């Protein structure tokens, strides 16, 4: 009997380790080799216009990269909303920047999906500011102020367009945290991100968009980030999901 229990424990440990390693590999590939950005939505994936829909937009955080199960924050939010017959449509694209989301908003299928949404969440801006960490490593040689200015302009345009497509939906934007705090230029990026989040709140107020500020959620890289040290850990994703549901419900 003891051997049987030990065998079951061993198999379970190997299985959990495999899941964790798979999550690490997915996160690493997303940073080093971002997938091709497919911005359009095909007819077979677009929900029917009848009924209520929860639409998720943005980048890899909305895709759930870094989560050991791939659930991220969208899946638990969607599961909670399903109790009220709300269907989930995740249109996020890993590696997307603000200009990519603006291009996606030009797609007719995407626009129709947003028009039919009851709830909308989005994450965007991190790839603009960090550029896979290159802007942090080369802080002195990059015109980071221009990068931030351009990205803010795009973010404001995104807010205006999404609200313009749907005047009644509840919309939530999850702002930025700093995954590079241990970098020698990490402290300089703290102020940039705080400023970004403050601007996002201002843009959001103008368009009746709620803004979640997750800056304080990442203070311990090993605990608060995934093994790729860029995307949220399961613990942080759970916090984001709780925040989103608190606003939506």
Q: How many CB atoms lie within 10 A of CB 149?
A: 11
How far apart are the C-alpha atoms of 219 and 239, rounded to whole Å? 14
pLDDT confidence of residue 39: 47
pLDDT confidence of residue 145: 86
Handedness of CA 84, 243, 169, 37 (dihedral sign): negative
- pLDDT, tens digit (0-9, with 9 covering 90-100), for 19-59: 444 444 444 445 444 444 444 444 444 444 445 999 999 99
How far apart are the C-alpha atoms of 115 and 214, rounded to whole Å? 28
Residues of the chain with pLDDT under 50: 1-2, 6, 9-10, 14-16, 19-29, 31-50
List, in order of start, the domains of the chain with CATH numbers. Answer: 2-248 (3.40.50.1110)
Strand, helix or coil at 63?
helix
Whole-angstrom Cα Rg for the chain: 19
What angle separates helix 74-82 from helix 234-248, to the nearest 10 degrees? 40
pLDDT confidence of residue 13: 53
How far apart are the C-alpha atoms of 111 and 120, rounded to whole Å? 12
Model pTM score: 0.80
- pLDDT, tens digit (0-9, with 9 covering 90-100), for 204-220: 999 999 999 999 999 99
């Amino acid at each position: 009997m003891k051997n049987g229990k030990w065998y079951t424990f061993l198999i379970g440990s190997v299985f959990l380790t495999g899941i964790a390693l798979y999550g690490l590999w997915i996160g690493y590939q997303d940073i080093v080799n971002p997938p091709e950005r497919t911005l359009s939505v095909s007819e077979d994936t677009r929900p029917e216009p009848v009924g209520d829909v929860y639409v998720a937009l943005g980048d890899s955080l909305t895709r759930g990269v870094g989560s050991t199960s791939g659930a991220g924050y969208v899946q638990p939010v969607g599961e909670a909303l399903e109790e009220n017959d709300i269907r989930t449509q995740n249109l996020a694209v890993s590696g997307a920047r603000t200009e990519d989301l603006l291009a996606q908003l030009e797609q007719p299928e995407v626009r129709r999906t947003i028009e039919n949404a009851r709830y909308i969440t989005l994450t965007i801006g991190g790839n603009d500011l960090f550029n896979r960490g290159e802007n942090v490593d080369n802080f002195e040689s990059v015109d980071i102020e221009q990068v931030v200015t351009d990205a803010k302009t795009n973010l404001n345009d995104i807010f205006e367009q999404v609200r313009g497509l749907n005047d009644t939906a509840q919309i939530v934007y999850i702002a930025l945290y700093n995954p590079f705090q241990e970098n020698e230029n990490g402290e300089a990026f703290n102020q940039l991100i705080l400023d970004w989040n403050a601007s996002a709140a201002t843009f959001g107020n103008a368009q009746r968009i709620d803004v979640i500020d997750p800056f304080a959620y990442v203070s311990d890289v090993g605990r608060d980030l995934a093994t790729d040290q860029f995307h949220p850990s399961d613990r942080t994703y759970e916090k984001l999901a709780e925040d989103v549901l608190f606003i939506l419900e």
